Amino acid sequence: MSTPVDTTKAGTASTAAGEIPVAPKPTSYSMIGPYVGIVLIILYCLAPFYWMIVSSLRRPADQFQTTLIPQPISFQNYIDVFNPANNFARALLNSIIVASSVTVLTLIIGTFAAYALARLDFPFKNVSLGIIIACSMFPGIAMVIPLFGLFTDIGWINTYQALIIPALSFGLPLAVWILTAFFRQMPAELEEAAMIDGCTQGQAFRKVIIPLAAPGVFTTAIIVFVAAWNEYIIALTMTNKAEYRTATVAVTFFTGTTGRDIPFGSIMAAGVILTVPLLIMVLIFQRRIVAGLTAGGVKS
């Protein structure tokens, strides 16, 4: 005759034997809070940009309206931005030249410097890296007067190099820091395997390391380009001719119909023109940017 089994004691025994009880599923109400927080943060970040777009689409006569949607919609401000008197088209070209030059030079110098710091062993290596990143912490305004005096003495005022070199000095430390962390997480066996296959040290770096480091290099390029594109203080100080001003500086010299009024709508339109390309670029390459920012901190 079989003995009945006490299910209560069996369940207790099975739990005591090491079985992990299943956690209760979260209710739908517990997920509302995080989503509400995310929505509020997004609205907080996008509200100024939305108002800038709305203001740029108002007619010049309606620039002080407070409606959330412009009535009627007008593109006159965008036409006024490219008025030859504002010289904004040339300023956009100057911004492209300066930001692109800074990005390319930063990647070339920063990649080699970061690779050396990641692979070579020499005294005070970490101290050197700390000094490099500390250089980027100097406020730009503190460097304006010394740089202005230096560039005046050597005749560099109203030149592209007066805009490129200061931006390079601020972007390069950040690039070296990011790329050094990225190269450190890449195993040295990659170069050794390439050299066994017949590559030189330089060929191993060019054909193996650089392609694998593409996410980190790409992320650095985006950060440096955005910083150089948005730079204002140095560009304002080192230029006093309209043909050398960058776009961020040219906006501050917009004039209204009388020369005394502030062209609020045109300034908002110029801000949209300066911001939208950066937003599109970041949205298109967001996966690469995230991969580059996280790869340096993950050991494979």
Together in a domain, 137 and 197: yes
- Which parts of the chain register pLDDT below 70? 1-30, 256-260, 291-300
Residue 128 covered by a domain: yes
Residue 163: the pLDDT is 93
Residue 70: the pLDDT is 87
**Residue ending a domain, choose from 21, 53, 74:** 74
Together in a domain, 141 and 269: yes
Residue 300: the pLDDT is 43
Together in a domain, 186 and 259: yes
Q: How far is CA 230 from CA 38, 93, 225, 246, in A?
A: 27, 14, 9, 9
Residue 196 covered by a domain: yes
Residue 22 covered by a domain: no
Together in a domain, 56 and 199: no
The boundaries of the domain holding residue 49 are 32-74
Residue 249: the pLDDT is 94
d(CA 249, CA 247): 5
Together in a domain, 138 and 211: yes
CA quadruple 29, 31, 34, 38: dihedral sign: negative
Together in a domain, 36 and 161: no
> Is the bond preceding residue 72 a cis peptide, omega within 30 degrees?
yes
Residue 100 covered by a domain: yes
Together in a domain, 100 and 43: no
Together in a domain, 70 and 40: yes
Together in a domain, 171 and 129: yes
**Residue ending a domain, choose from 47, 74, 101:** 74
CATH code for the domain in which residue 272 is found: 1.10.3720.10
Residue 261 covered by a domain: yes
pTM: 0.81
Overall number of domains in the chain: 2
Question: What would the pLDDT profile of 240-256 be if each residue is shown by its tens digit?
Answer: 898 999 999 999 998 76
Residue 298: the pLDDT is 47
Together in a domain, 228 and 250: yes
Together in a domain, 56 and 197: no
For residue 85, give the 3-state DSSP assignment: coil
d(CA 277, CA 47): 18
